[in-house]
């Protein structure tokens, strides 16, 4: 590894040195990801494939685009970034995904799946239009990503352009694949990729049918034999049916075979699919023996055993998973749907208990939501579990397929808000802004385990509109017991047991304190807000902290509570524009109560720990308390200034002293005015 600083260095290695390098890279990956976690399994599986790609293609002139990008660690190593891995997935460190800011070899910062083929299609078109015909675009996509519709939309276009050099590398690491097929299929594929073969085939097609008597029957017979042989030896005939040249399957851990196949694909100068069979977690036994995920993205672990270093904690995900399984036992109409994330979203217990009511649709969030709509139409209540960042991909289906039809579909969003080290594409900060646009939709943001359980029960009870539950990544905080729960009824606040519209009061001003501030804490900011209220009470500022529970639509009880206070402050782990705070401000616009929205800026936030990012953004108890104090002071100053400006002015003339005499007393200076 010490000799590799660019792809050019790889081309000087002999086969023995190349194998040695692959072993060194695997050991390096295990050591580096063990420190703070990362995508280990996928990268162990693409070591030889990545080396072959960089030996055959001339990056960055030939763009290599990794779908999702979590398997780009080896690519980073051979493009000169091995020395930066000590700061992998840290602030100002090495990104866990391709990053244009890091290297010219990283063309796109894609960490949402199924996008690579569309990027590649666009690049190939651009090169063709610019006359840069010597460049080849390479897209590396996994078999899992091909479950997404966007990939097939791109393939439909790629296959239609017979003269644009574009190589699709299918990294097939599914555990159900067959052993590498020998000789015949690879030889046939290599033959088909030779331009001379294409010319010969064209001549046969045009001339053989013209032969007297036997021409057309012989041509048909030859064509039938050729197709039958292809279908027998080549398992992925579907790609050829689309019009793509197909090469493979290739052993994805055999660099010589990989290079031969990739050279053939590059020489074809048209769209080719190279099918590579790889093994996720290859070369590291703890990953190979991890039946669930092959250590896809482990937290920090012991490199000798592969076991996590930190003790297990109760997470939001596990609380949701256990509760949904309980609901499933109580209601046989509840079904679960996920987009290739059954384990990470907590659906394991439900799937184990009710396998016939569990649907993993692959990386296809759009389909997941519309299929859920169909299930709801058919009398079921679907619960769709996604990462919050991936709801972006299914907004149209949530709006037009679920909400428009007033269907009871529950969407549960894991990893909402600031998620930390995975960076801008994985911060789940857009969901509340999107949800606020959807008519009839109700969104809950539980503050702790108890409210998550309650609100999930309330969500699946709604059968005439979509509902959304969202919660952050990681451990669940301690439960925060409400002082009281209220709901608006006939223009006043009355006690409530729960349900949409009920608001929890978490803290109130002490005796002798005014009701200065109504602090609306959305979701996991409940504990932070209670702490901020305590800090403000020490300064004589009375704060009422409320958890709106179902934050969208804005509960009517919040309006009644706002009237009792001098100022409203909202705090949420979502985008400032169009989120809960913006909805609260809109709801209270006709009241003489100022609203301050504390939220995430509409920016792509860098990778960093959740705590560090929230501190940077001023979303800590100390910062919130200080900000409210400053706003109260500013408001007091402004009110005083306004009162002074509005005070009556005495317009009577003032007796002034003659220039050479003793002045007459002005009544005002004498204290009589």
Which residues have a catalytic role annotated? 280, 365, 393
Q: Which two tokens stand for residue 22?
A: 């692959």
Nearest to 613 by CA among 106, 32, 90: 90
Distances (CA, A) of 550 to 40, 76, 102, 330: 38, 44, 41, 23
Q: How far apart are CA 628 and CA 646, in angstroms?
A: 26
Angle in degrees, CA 141, 144, 149, rounded to 5: 85
Contact partners, residue 606, CB within 8 Å, separation at least 6: 91, 92, 423, 424, 613
Contact 399, 437 (CB under 8 A): yes
Q: Which two tokens stand for residue 598?
A: 């504390």
Contact 72, 97 (CB under 8 A): yes
Q: How far apart are CA 350 and CA 338, in angstroms?
A: 12
Phi/psi of residue 22, each to 5°?
A: -60, -40
Rg, the chain, Cα only: 32
Phi/psi of residue 625, each to 5°?
A: -60, -45
For 502-647, strand residue ranges (E) read 503-507, 517-521, 543-547, 550-552, 567-575, 595-600
Contact partners, residue 430, CB within 8 Å, separation at least 6: 388, 389, 391, 392, 574, 575
How many Cβ atoms sit within 10 Å of the Cβ of residue 635?
14
Q: Which residue has the tokens 């002045």?
A: 663
Q: Which two tokens stand for residue 367?
A: 């389909």
Helix or strand run (H / E) with residue 470? strand 467-470
Helix or strand run (H / E) with residue 319? helix 316-330
Q: How far apart are CA 234 and CA 230, in angstroms?
A: 5
């Amino acid at each position: 590894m010490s000799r590799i600083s660019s792809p050019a260095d790889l081309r000087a290695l002999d086969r023995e040195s190349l194998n040695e390098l692959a072993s060194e890279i695997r050991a390096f990956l295990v050591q580096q990801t063990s420190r703070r976690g990362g995508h280990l399994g996928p990268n162990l599986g693409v070591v030889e494939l990545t080396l072959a790609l960089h030996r055959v293609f001339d990056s960055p002139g030939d763009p290599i685009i990794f779908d999702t990008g979590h398997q780009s660690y080896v690519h980073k190593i051979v493009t000169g970034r091995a020395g930066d891995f000590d700061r992998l997935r840290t602030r100002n460190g090495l990104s866990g995904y391709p990053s244009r800011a890091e290297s010219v070899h990283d063309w796109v910062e894609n960490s949402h799946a199924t996008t690579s083929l569309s990027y590649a299609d666009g690049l190939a078109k651009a090169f063709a239009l610019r006359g840069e015909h010597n460049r080849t675009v390479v897209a590396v996509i996994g078999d899992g990503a091909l479950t997404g519709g966007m990939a097939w939309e791109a393939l439909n276009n790629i296959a239609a352009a017979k003269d644009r050099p574009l190589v699709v590398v299918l990294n097939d690491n599914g555990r159900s694949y067959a052993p590498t097929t020998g000789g015949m299929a690879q030889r046939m594929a290599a033959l088909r990729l030779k331009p001379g073969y294409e010319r010969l085939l064209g001549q046969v097609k045009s001339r053989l049918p013209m032969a007297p008597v036997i021409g057309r029957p012989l041509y048909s017979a030859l064509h039938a034999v050729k197709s039958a042989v292809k279908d027998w030896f080549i398992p992925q005939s579907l790609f050829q049916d689309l019009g793509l040249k197909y090469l493979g399957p290739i052993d994805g851990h055999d660099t010589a075979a990989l290079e031969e196949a990739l050279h053939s694909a590059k020489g074809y100068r048209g769209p080719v699919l190279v099918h590579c069979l790889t093994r996720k977690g290859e070369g590291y036994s703890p990953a190979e023996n991890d039946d669930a995920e092959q250590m896809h993205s482990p937290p920090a672990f012991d490199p000798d055993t592969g076991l996590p270093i930190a003790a297990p904690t109760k997470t939001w995900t596990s609380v949701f998973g256990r509760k949904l399984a309980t609901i499933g036992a109580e209601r046989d109409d509840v079904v679960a749907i996920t987009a290739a994330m059954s384990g990470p979203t907590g659906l394991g217990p439900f799937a184990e208990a009710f396998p016939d009511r569990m649907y993993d649709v692959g990386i296809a969030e759009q389909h997941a939501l519309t299929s859920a709509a169909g299930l709801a139409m058919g009398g079921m209540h679907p619960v769709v579990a996604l990462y919050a960042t991936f709801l972006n991909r299914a907004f149209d289906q949530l709006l037009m397929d679920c909400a428009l039809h007033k269907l009871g579909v529950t969407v549960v969003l894991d990893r909402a808000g600031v998620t930390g080290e995975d960076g801008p594409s994985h911060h789940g900060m857009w969901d509340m802004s999107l949800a606020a646009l959807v008519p009839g939709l109700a969104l809950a943001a539980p503050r702790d385990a108890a409210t998550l359980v309650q609100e999930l029960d309330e969500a699946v009870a709604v059968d005439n509109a979509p509902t959304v539950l969202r919660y952050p990544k990681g451990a669940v905080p301690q439960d925060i017991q409400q002082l009281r729960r209220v709901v608006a009824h006939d223009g006043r606040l009355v006690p409530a047991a729960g349900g949409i519209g009920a608001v929890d009061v978490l803290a109130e001003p002490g005796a002798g304190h005014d009701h200065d501030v109504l602090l609306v804490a959305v979701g996991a900011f409940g504990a932070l807000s209670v702490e901020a209220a305590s800090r403000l009470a020490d300064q004589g500022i009375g704060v009422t902290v409320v958890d709106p529970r179902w934050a969208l639509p804005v509960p009517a009880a919040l309006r009644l509570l706002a009237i009792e206070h001098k100022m409203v402050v909202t705090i949420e782990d979502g985008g400032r524009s169009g989120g809960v705070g913006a909805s609260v401000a809109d709801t209270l616009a006709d009241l003489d109560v100022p609203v301050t929205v504390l939220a995430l800026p509409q920016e792509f936030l860098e990778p960093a720990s959740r705590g560090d990012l929230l501190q940077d953004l001023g979303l800590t108890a100390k910062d919130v308390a200080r900000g409210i104090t400053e706003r109260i002071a500013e408001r007091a100053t402004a009110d005083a200034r306004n009162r002074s400006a509005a005070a009556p002015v005495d317009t009577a003339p003032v007796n002034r002293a003659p220039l050479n005499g003793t002045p007459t007393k002005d009544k005002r200076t004498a204290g009589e005015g």
